[in-house]
């Protein structure tokens, strides 16, 4: 029993160390970029920074374990109900086709999961934590309630596995190139689109997401419920939710305040008395 506890602790420490190294790497890239190419003036040590650091470690350490629970049901569904012919047809595609098609399927799943998180009041309670940030920088990417994080990742991964892009139902990111690439790109890109950077992609802005694209998703006083995709703005164009003017939003956040402490934020959506004033249920006007 003692050795099991020691092994678990050692594993936790090793993962925490890896997370810390990853964080330093992100800071080395983004802090200077945000200083020299800032979209709006902002201090590095801004309000909510410590909370976001807390989410960075919490979600980094807990996500895989939490996500494995709903994904195990997907694995069972694949084995029981998905025809072998479909799985084999997908398996026969060449690796680049699998990556591109798998990526688009995953992004489409993410888009609809994210859109639901804005329109279903129960899901919005959790997702509102992410939208509570009043200033944006790369680290806001990690500000997400674990329930919100698991739901959005599940919505991105499940359709991919159900269509055979996860190696015949073997749910293991490490031995699956396609899920690995399809998970890694949005993870890294997520930091970029939250970053306080003025970079735009000109005529390619409809193709790949930019900070401006996602910053409009966080607007407080501009049109809400736009730009749900993580990486592919053309999905928003396809589904009627793209909003990408030349200027940037004036302010960020939501009308309903959320608690200041991390532990209170984690419990907040679960409290029965929570009645967020804003459910963001307005449909965008086309
Ligand atoms: Zn959102
Ligand atoms: Zn965001």
For ligand 2, the distance from its centroid to the CA atom of residue 194, given in whole angstroms, is: 6
23: pLDDT strictly greater than 70: yes
- Helix H or strand E encompassing 19: helix 2-36
pTM for the model stands at: 0.89
For ligand 2, the distance from its centroid to the CA atom of residue 140, given in whole angstroms, is: 7
For ligand 2, the distance from its centroid to the CA atom of residue 211, given in whole angstroms, is: 10
Structure tokens of 141?
A: 């990417």
103: pLDDT strictly greater than 80: yes
Query: What pLDDT shows up at residue 169?
Result: 43
CA 155 to chain CA centroid, Å, is: 11
Question: Around Cβ 43, how many Cβ atoms within 10 Å?
Answer: 9
**Least confident interval from 48-57, 179-188, 191-200, 262-271:** 179-188
From the number of C-beta atoms within 10 Å of its C-beta (0-12, 13-18, 19+), residue 87 rates as buried
For ligand 1, the distance from its centroid to the CA atom of residue 240, given in whole angstroms, is: 16
CA-based nearest residue to 56, from 12, 20, 14, 27: 20
- C-alpha dihedral sign at 243, 120, 231, 34: positive
Judged by its nearest atom, the ligand closest to the C-alpha of residue 189 is 2
Query: What pLDDT shows up at residue 229?
Result: 96
- Angle 63-135-61 from CA coordinates, rounded to 5°: 15
Query: What pLDDT shows up at residue 176?
Result: 66
Structure tokens of 65?
A: 């374990």
Confidence at 274, pLDDT banded by 50, 70, 90 = low
**Contact yes or no for 154/51 (Cβ under 8 A):** no
For ligand 2, the distance from its centroid to the CA atom of residue 243, given in whole angstroms, is: 15
Task: Give CA–CA dist 147/127, Å, rounded.
Answer: 9
For ligand 2, the distance from its centroid to the CA atom of residue 131, given in whole angstroms, is: 7
Judged by its nearest atom, the ligand closest to the C-alpha of residue 140 is 2
For ligand 2, the distance from its centroid to the CA atom of residue 175, given in whole angstroms, is: 29
Judged by its nearest atom, the ligand closest to the C-alpha of residue 213 is 2
- Angle 12-156-232 from CA coordinates, rounded to 5°: 115
For ligand 1, the distance from its centroid to the CA atom of residue 83, given in whole angstroms, is: 35
Which residue in this structure is represented by tokens 């350490």?
61
Confidence at 33, pLDDT banded by 50, 70, 90 = very high
Confidence at 264, pLDDT banded by 50, 70, 90 = very high
Task: Give CA–CA dist 155/205, Å, rounded.
Answer: 25
For ligand 1, the distance from its centroid to the CA atom of residue 131, given in whole angstroms, is: 6
Judged by its nearest atom, the ligand closest to the C-alpha of residue 225 is 1
Query: What pLDDT shows up at residue 231?
Result: 95
Judged by its nearest atom, the ligand closest to the C-alpha of residue 227 is 1
Cβ within 8 Å of residue 208, ≥6 positions away: 201, 231, 232, 233
Judged by its nearest atom, the ligand closest to the C-alpha of residue 127 is 1
For ligand 2, the distance from its centroid to the CA atom of residue 190, given in whole angstroms, is: 8
Judged by its nearest atom, the ligand closest to the C-alpha of residue 194 is 2
- C-alpha dihedral sign at 278, 283, 285, 286: positive
Cα-flanking dihedrals φ and ψ of residue 257, to 5°? -70, 145
Cα-flanking dihedrals φ and ψ of residue 3, to 5°? -70, -35
Task: Give CA–CA dist 123/121, Å, rounded.
Answer: 5
């Amino acid at each position: 029993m003692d050795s099991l506890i020691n092994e678990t602790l050692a594993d936790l420490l090793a993962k925490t160390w890896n997370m810390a190294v990853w964080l330093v790497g992100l800071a080395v890239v983004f802090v200077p970029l945000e200083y020299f190419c800032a979209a709006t003036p902002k201090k590095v040590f801004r309000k909510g920074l410590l909370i976001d650091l807390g989410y960075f470690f919490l979600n980094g350490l807990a996500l895989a374990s939490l996500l494995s629970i709903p994904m195990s049901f997907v694995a069972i569904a694949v084995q029981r109900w998905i025809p072998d012919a479909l799985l084999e047809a997908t398996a026969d595609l060449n690796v680049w086709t699998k990556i591109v098609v798998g990526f688009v399927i995953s992004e489409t799943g993410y888009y609809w999961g994210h859109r639901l998180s804005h329109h279903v009041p129960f899901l919005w309670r959790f997702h509102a934590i992410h939208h509570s940030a009043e200033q944006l920088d790369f680290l806001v990417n990690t500000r997400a309630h674990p329930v919100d994080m698991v739901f959005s990742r599940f919505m991105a991964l499940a359709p991919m596995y159900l269509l055979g892009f996860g190696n015949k139902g073997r749910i293991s990111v490490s031995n699956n190139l396609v899920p690995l690439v399809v998970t890694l790109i949005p993870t890294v890109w997520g930091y970029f689109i939250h970053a306080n950077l003025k970079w735009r992609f000109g005529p390619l802005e409809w193709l790949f997401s930019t900070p401006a694209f996602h910053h409009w998703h966080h607007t407080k006083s501009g049109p809400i419920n736009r730009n749900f995709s993580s990486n592919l703005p053309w999905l928003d164009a396809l589904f009627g939710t793209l909003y990408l003017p030349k200027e940037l939003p004036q302010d960020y956040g939501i009308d309903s305040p959320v608690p200041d402490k991390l532990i209170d934020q984690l419990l907040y959506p679960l409290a029965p008395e929570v009645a967020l004033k804003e459910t963001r249920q307005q449909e965008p006007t086309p």
